[in-house]
Structure 1
Amino acid sequence: MAEVCVAGLGYIGLPTAAMLASQGHQVTGFDINAAAVASINSGHPHFHEPDLQMLLSAALSTGRLKVQTEPVEADYFILAVPTPLIEGQKPDLSYVYAACDEIAPCLRAGSTVILESTSPVGTTERLCERIAAARPDLRVPRYMDVGGEFDIFVCHCPERILPGQMLRELVSNDRIIGGVTDACAQSGVALYETFVRSNLLVTDCRTAEFVKLIENASRDINIAFANELSMICDHLGIDVWQAIELANRHPRVKILQPGPGVGGHCIAVDPWFIVDSAPDLSRMIRVAREVNDRKPKSVVETIRALAKRFKRPIVSCYGLTYKADVDDLRESPALEIVHDLARSTNLDILVCDPHVRELPAALADLSNVRLVGPDDARRQADIVVFLVGHRQFQRLEANAFLNKVVVDTIGLLGVAQRRQHVVAASAQSVSTIGDLRTAAQRLTA
């Protein structure tokens, strides 16, 4: 078994470190966030993920996982740090470079550096350049230099796990391992084959970096098509949920469901890395990002127009996270919508989300925003906005909202209604449940 040092103990690094420790490796995880380190060492992850606490507690109790704020020497170094966007939708690689600089003094002959952070094409090669500058005593590989002799190995293995299913997908998903050289890739394979039960697909580091980006760009484009359809349907007075449902009866059509936008650490960010690398050649990718970024603003405009019916309306927003059944707020369109609504001084905003225990910093200091339970949100609301399809919300009774104005951006009520042959409202349409029933009666007559 190997000694492994994991840089970054967030949504990717911590599950990976715990999984490696569970397979017998000696793992040291480090993070600059001292509060997160303290929480992890007490056996409590600083975010919720099913079964992670159990796996973490076992790894700590056996001594195979140690967590601290500094790196140590190891056979393998995994970089799992953020790659956010900065002004102008450009990639911010400062966290990756900082992690690389941190581990450089700890490298030894035979060490393997694995970049898991989603990154623009060429980032893995730039890590080689930084390591070579910091450690002139080590021979560092160069891209596709098959004949060279090197002291360390460097590769890119992009993460492919979904919040809420991380531990299962760590084991069951295919992984791509892109080496600076083939020998680098094979060194990465030797580690991942100890816990991945699916295929390990070997390629070069540039291809591996690009594959991760196009996976998320493809999903972004498909979501943008659905979101654009919802806005067109609203303009034309068509029920987008019924239109998509009927179109998907075609054997070669599979349109996704629209929503309030796109969030999370991948789909809302990664396509911009491609645009930044080839701005004149990535027009479709750029437009899809712009459509999805526009959607939350469109939802806010709809709600504000509705609010004019009331003197000082109470708007209850169901859901704050970026997707259903997780506590992750990163790039959440629901959070963006609530924040934008709260800037209207004539609105009182109630927020309910079973996965959020307290208002995030962006909302905490706003006097017209309160976190409440779903029943209080329903009772007090003039306008109800469904933003995230949490499992708990799917059990809500449509009849309870008969006297409310409803903006259903995710077709939540339509899930229950369609079971009774009733079609839901458009992601951008605004109606009461009574309006939905009237429409349904016409459709099923």
Structure 2
Amino acid sequence: MMNKICVIGLGYIGLPTSVMFANNGIHVHGVDVNSAAVEKIRNKQLHIEEHGLQERLNVAIDSGNFTVSTTPEKADVFIIAVPSPINPDKTADMKYVESATKSIVPFLEKENLVILESTVPPRTVEDVMMPILKESGLEMGTELLISHSPERVIPGRVFEELVNNSRIVGGINEESAEKTRDLYRAFVKGEIFITDATTAEMVKVIENTYRDVNIAFANELARVSENIGVNVWEAIKLANHHPRVNIHLPGPGVGGHCIAVDPWFLVEQDPENARIIHLARQTNDSMPLFVANKVKTIAEQQQIKNPKIAVLGLSFKANIDDMRESPSVEVVHHLKEMYLELTAFDPHIKEQKLPQQALNLEEALQNADIVVILTEHDEFKILDPKQIANLVRSKIVLDTKNCLPRDAWVKAGFDVRVLGDAKHS
């Protein structure tokens, strides 16, 4: 029986997963080391932004099916959904997975199931988790079942994708995988594929690495296009009409907890063979500096003395509040190193995260010389360029996401530059 689940980690994945199980009739006890986040959740307040989360959290709490604290409790199933970041030397930091695993050992009993949802380097279940779980005294694979079922969702569409996406389940044995599959059937409508734990770990890393390499290709095309007189956005759009071509879009870099991180897992494990993966990471990591240099070059070309830069967008992706590994933050860092005056604004970042962060759009744009669009928030797409023209000092825009209606901005008197567009760069 799987009547109670203990979820370790109540962040961008753990909290939505918890409320999904709770709202499907299973009692869930959520755990997080962040006591402030726990207190907010207990009071039906959000510490993260996700469409549809507030309503589902209210239902989960009011039903009594969802409780939270900073310590685990005995349960039938333990789900670990904690971060697995990268160290400064680009090696995997497993301390959160290790500490979360250690935290549940005193509460484990026979017939329990432990599921790792965090995206991790292949062999983490076998080499990191299982040696810790053995301290419970339970026999692995018989008395204690263990599996890896990585999340495969994107911020902003978490609930839709939790339900409808296919899911990978990798167990340390067949019974572990089957029990995990049966558990997720509580709300997953997509197909559930069963494999072993290490293959499941590899699958998730492959998925994000594929996207990173594809984006790196697009970013290379953008830089080449600027040098040879081509609009890369038009070229990619036309190329993607081929039935076997699907090129992603360029931008100021790659962010988020997955795509900007997971490829390094493979580079660390096999640097001799992961050469394309390594080069793609270097290409995408170089884009924030490339953008910052473009800003500096524009200011020099226009002979603007002591230019003020207004950076719009700090989250790594449109319409969310997640700044993890955000290339926008790196762009700000490089602009600071160039001693350029700047302000930054993001309508989704409610708390002061950077010293340069303005409290509102008007403050960010006041007397700006160059407006730099780094995130394609809906709020930016519908800006009225006529109103913006009354706030800025110099009417110059660098659109790194090709998200503005260019003709309207040009009509309002703006010089609009677009990343990867030689005709407007």
TM-score, with structure 1 as normaliser: 0.88
- Cα deviations by residue, 1:190-226 (Å, 9 ceiling, x for unpaired): 2101111111111110110000000000000110011
Per-residue deviation at 1:277? 1.3
Per-residue deviation at 1:373? 3.3
Q: Distance in 1 between matches of 2:188 and 2:233?
A: 38
Give the corresponding residue for 2:286.
Answer: 294
Residue of structure 2 aligned with 1:244, choices 236, 242, 246: 236
SS in 2 for 1:413: coil
Give the corresponding residue for 2:130.
Answer: 128
Give the corresponding residue for 1:224.
Answer: 216
Per-residue deviation at 1:370? 4.1
Q: Distance in 2 between matches of 1:415 and 1:173?
A: 35
Give the corresponding residue for 1:147.
Answer: none
Per-residue deviation at 1:245? 2.6
- Cα deviations by residue, 1:267-293 (Å, 9 ceiling, x for unpaired): 000011011111111111111111000
Contact 1:176 1:203 in 2 (8 A): yes
Give the corresponding residue for 1:40.
Answer: 41
Q: Distance in 1 between matches of 2:186 and 2:320?
A: 28
List gaps (5 residues or longer) in structure 2: none
Alignment of 1:170-181 (within 5 A): 170-181=162-173
Contact 1:411 1:425 in 2 (8 A): no
Per-residue deviation at 1:396? 2.5
Give the corresponding residue for 1:116.
Answer: 117
Q: Distance in 1 between matches of 2:406 and 2:417?
A: 11
Q: Distance in 1 between matches of 2:7 and 2:243?
A: 45
Contact 1:313 1:382 in 2 (8 A): yes
Give the corresponding residue for 1:319.
Answer: 313
Residue 163, structure 1, aligned to residue 165, structure 2: no
Give the corresponding residue for 2:254.
Answer: 262
Aligned-residue sequence identity (percent) comes to 42
Q: Distance in 1 between matches of 2:265 and 2:325?
A: 16
- Cα deviations by residue, 1:362-419 (Å, 9 ceiling, x for unpaired): x22xxxx24153345445221111111001111134566775222111112257779x
Moved more, 59-68 or 389-398: 389-398
Per-residue deviation at 1:327? 0.5
Per-residue deviation at 1:303? 1.1
Contact 1:7 1:81 in 2 (8 A): yes
Moved more, 406-415 or 264-273: 406-415
- Cα deviations by residue, 1:293-348 (Å, 9 ceiling, x for unpaired): 00111111111222332221111111111010000000000111112213333x22
Alpha carbons of structure 1 residues 15 and 415: separation in structure 2 relative to 1, 3 Å:
farther
Give the corresponding residue for 2:140.
Answer: 140
Q: Distance in 2 between matches of 1:239 and 1:108?
A: 61
Alignment of 1:37-436 (within 5 A): 37-126=38-127, 127-132=129-134, 134-136=135-137, 138-141=138-141, 150-308=142-300, 309-345=303-339, 347-360=340-353, 363-364=354-355, 369-397=356-384, 404-413=395-404, 425-428=417-420
Alpha carbons of structure 1 residues 426 and 228: separation in structure 2 relative to 1, 3 Å:
farther
Q: Distance in 1 between matches of 2:126 and 2:241?
A: 46
SS in 1 for 2:227: helix
Alpha carbons of structure 1 residues 428 and 385: separation in structure 2 relative to 1, 3 Å:
farther
Aligned-partner residue type, residue 173 of structure 1:
N
Aligned-partner residue type, residue 21 of structure 1:
A
Moved more, 401-410 or 101-110: 401-410
Aligned-partner residue type, residue 69 of structure 1:
T
Contact 2:371 2:397 in 1 (8 A): yes
RMSD: 2.1
Per-residue deviation at 1:230? 0.9
Aligned-partner residue type, residue 350 of structure 1:
T
Aligned-partner residue type, residue 292 of structure 2:
V
TM-score, with structure 2 as normaliser: 0.92
Alpha carbons of structure 1 residues 7 and 214: separation in structure 2 relative to 1, 3 Å:
same
Give the corresponding residue for 1:145.
Answer: none
SS in 2 for 1:96: helix
Contact 1:408 1:428 in 2 (8 A): no
Q: Distance in 2 between matches of 1:416 and 1:385?
A: 17
Contact 2:380 2:404 in 1 (8 A): no
SS in 2 for 1:90: coil
Per-residue deviation at 1:62? 1.5
